[in-house]
Structure 1
Amino acid sequence: MVTPLNQGPLLARAAHAPAISLDALSGTGNVLILSPHPDDETLGCAQAISAVCEQGRKVIVVVATNGNLSHPRSKRYPKPVLAALRKQECLDALDVLGGVAVTPVFLDYDDQGSPSTVQAQQACVAQLEALAVAHEVTAIWTCWEHDPHCDHQRVAQLGEWLQARQPAMALYKYPIWGRFLPELPLLSGTLYQFSAHSGIDRKARAIACYRSQTTSLIDDDPEGFVMDPHTKAHFLQTPELFIQSGPPTRAQEFDALYLNDPDPWRFLTSEYEQNKYAATLAALPQKRYRCAIEAGCSIGVLTEKLSSRCGQVIGLDISGVAIALARARSTQANQVRFIQACLPDEWPDVSADLIVLSEILYFLQAWQIEELARRVAQSWEENGDCVLVNFSGDTCQALQGEQAEEVFFEAIQRFAEVSRISREAFDGFVVMVLKKRGASVS
């Protein structure tokens, strides 16, 4: 199956994108490239690879999958044979681009089988981090999260998590198939173009190494992938595209934290946490609630405990990894729901008679706490309860626990008729309970 692709709006923008120098793109050290399949590294950044190698630096190319699904119905090239062929094509292409200056690393996941579970992602990021540190990497180049393929999206996420673990390393994303999308996704970074005329011939010869993808070599599968000649010409005639990723977001930082340690605050074993859970449950004024929303649920330990008192509990957390861990360990699948949400903007449109804000407020800025209070007031049912739990020690954040509590309490009173029914200090934390007496104020 010949696959023609059309010009997309990203390419229209790229035509006016500024050029980027090799030093800006790669830093002063070596480069780690994450490639979803054998050939993505060549299509996306072959000229840049050659340019780094010409400077006497190293390029470590990590190929996540073996690409064994490009021709799924071929009898002459079943999956193991196709995987071996594509690996050799990749080795040949990398030899053209940089020779001994390129270090290939094959993770050998099956096509469409790149890491998707937290355990697999945790192991993979640790492996990538060890490679990056050992090879003195200063820049990570990975595929784009908007490329329309699951392997590209997962590998892009691995690159983000790696940078969150090593924030001194620059992160650039090279779009492959996403450049042809009919609509332009939101760009979270600056788009650049890179071109090195000395590398165009090498790129052409490297692409030619991938005979399984660009020729009729595998002719017994009419549904197999074959790149359209115009598309191949595009990758040779168009400057290579890189999207500079900014500093790691808070979500990426928390994702990296959970990938490094699935229980970073010892929610399952800490005496402090167990005391806090007991105090939180004891402070609840009502024996039973219809629906609770817990913000900052982490791996869901308190969420499950709340489920014994609630018909439904919705746990929110900024970290997708924490949410995945919470879902995996949850034994109350029908009663508990976990949602990744960046607060306050992604507060759910759900009516609840119990709101639990346990050690989350001091992670927010004062203006974010005020906005969170507004959104809480809208979903908080009349005569429902809101429990605030805050650490009483040094939070190492802009706000201390007591300050965050005060900001929220003052703000919520502007959006609803609220009364404080209890506030008790314990060893290391404070629990305050509010009740909503009247309707929300718009």
Structure 2
Amino acid sequence: MDALTHSDNAKRGAPERRRPSWDEFDTLPELQPDRLVPLHGRAVFIAPHPDDEVLGMGGLMVRLARLQRKLALIAVTDGDASHRNSTVWTADRLRETRPNETREALQRLRAYNVDVTRLRFGDGTVGSSERALQSQIEHLIHADDVVITTWRFDGHPDHEATGRAAAAACVASGAHLVEAPIWAWHDSAPGDTRLPWGRARRLSLDASTHARKRHAIDAFTSQLEDDPSNQQKAVLSDATLTPWLRPFEIYLV
């Protein structure tokens, strides 16, 4: 998840934030991973940036790996635009570092056999290549796959473009689509009518799963450290991480 600037959020009309209360999600139906991805089925995670697959979907990865389901990851970008005007985290360094962070994170999730495909679209410009992205996804997924990706109205341009491309590819291929709000939690709250709550399902994370996800997030060092070269605070600050460290994940089915 590459950060948006303050002006980006302002353009999207983000409301005053309210920190969500966990018990407001208690009434949502529980997602059952073993039913979501049947035996011998495959889950294909599509991440706009390195770390999105863990922040929004890491718990589900853990649960599916335990069930010995086939897992694949399509990495849309290498996340090389997360640190603007930085002399420490240059685009070249990020292109090398962030995919390695993903590999380490998958190991920490104990998702050892994930088939990873890197598409290397431009970070921050996925929308301009949406049709090309859709075409590539169509060639990588099958009719009996379950595709899990970022929500089409997530509030981040790359997330939304990825969600739209994946949705169109699923229609064309017959694959089943599941969407995960990620950035949306920073400008919405439980009950916000912009979210399709009728489609929402809660995946509860037991202590072991939650700990693995937390450990996997810590693999993204490039996003967790302040940048002294441009005074940029960490992209994944303690405040930013709050919605992704809850003991559950929310999916739209």
2-structure distance, mates of 1:6, 1:188: 18
CA contact (8 A) 2:152 2:160 kept: yes
Paired amino acid for 1:179? W
Larger radius of gyration: 1
Please give the root-mean-square deviation of Cα atoms over the aligned residues, in Å. Answer: 2.8
SS in 2 for 1:89: helix
2-structure distance, mates of 1:75, 1:24: 47
Q: Given the superposition, is the C-alpha separation of residues 193 and 204 from structure 1 closer, same or farther in structure 2, using an over 3 Å criterion?
A: same
Q: 1:214 aligns with which of 224, 237, 252?
A: 224
2-structure distance, mates of 1:190, 1:204: 26
1:49 is aligned to 61
2:99 is aligned to 87
Q: Which has the higher contact order (CA 8 A, sep 6+)?
A: 2
> Size of the alignment, in residue pairs?
237
1:170 is aligned to 176
SS in 2 for 1:77: coil
Task: Specify which structure has the higher proportion of strand.
Answer: 1
2:90 is aligned to 78
What aligned pairs does 1:171-210 form with structure 2 within 5 A after superposition?
Answer: 171-182=177-188, 183-187=192-196, 190-197=199-206, 198-210=208-220
Tell me the CA shift for residue 180 of structure 1: 2.6
Q: Given the superposition, is the C-alpha separation of residues 112 and 195 from structure 1 closer, same or farther in structure 2, using an over 3 Å criterion?
A: same
CA contact (8 A) 1:8 1:181 kept: no
2:249 is aligned to 240
Tell me the CA shift for residue 10 of structure 1: 10
Paired amino acid for 2:217? I
Q: Given the superposition, is the C-alpha separation of residues 125 and 146 from structure 1 closer, same or farther in structure 2, using an over 3 Å criterion?
A: closer
1:360 is aligned to none
Q: Deviations over 1:107-136 (max 9, x none)?
A: 11221121524xx61x43332223223xx7
2:157 is aligned to 150
Tell me the CA shift for residue 79 of structure 1: 0.8
Tell me the CA shift for residue 237 of structure 1: 2.4
2-structure distance, mates of 1:172, 1:11: 22
- Deviates further, 13-22 or 181-190: 181-190
Tell me the CA shift for residue 61 of structure 1: 1.0
1-structure distance, mates of 2:73, 2:18: 28
Tell me the CA shift for residue 190 of structure 1: 1.0
Identity of aligned residues (%): 25
Q: Given the superposition, is the C-alpha separation of residues 238 and 99 from structure 1 closer, same or farther in structure 2, using an over 3 Å criterion?
A: closer
1-structure distance, mates of 2:145, 2:19: 31
1:256 is aligned to none
Unaligned runs of 5+ in 2: 6-15
CA contact (8 A) 1:194 1:240 kept: yes
Tell me the CA shift for residue 16 of structure 1: 2.6
CA contact (8 A) 1:65 1:113 kept: no
Q: TM-score if structure 1 supplies the norm length?
A: 0.49
Unaligned runs of 5+ in 1: 245-442
What aligned pairs does 1:41-440 form with structure 2 within 5 A after superposition?
Answer: 41-117=53-129, 121=131, 123-133=132-142, 137-167=144-174, 169-182=175-188, 183-187=192-196, 190-197=199-206, 198-216=208-226, 218-223=227-232, 225-244=234-253
Paired amino acid for 1:130? H
Q: Given the superposition, is the C-alpha separation of residues 10 and 180 from structure 1 closer, same or farther in structure 2, using an over 3 Å criterion?
A: farther
Paired amino acid for 2:152? E
Paired amino acid for 1:178? A
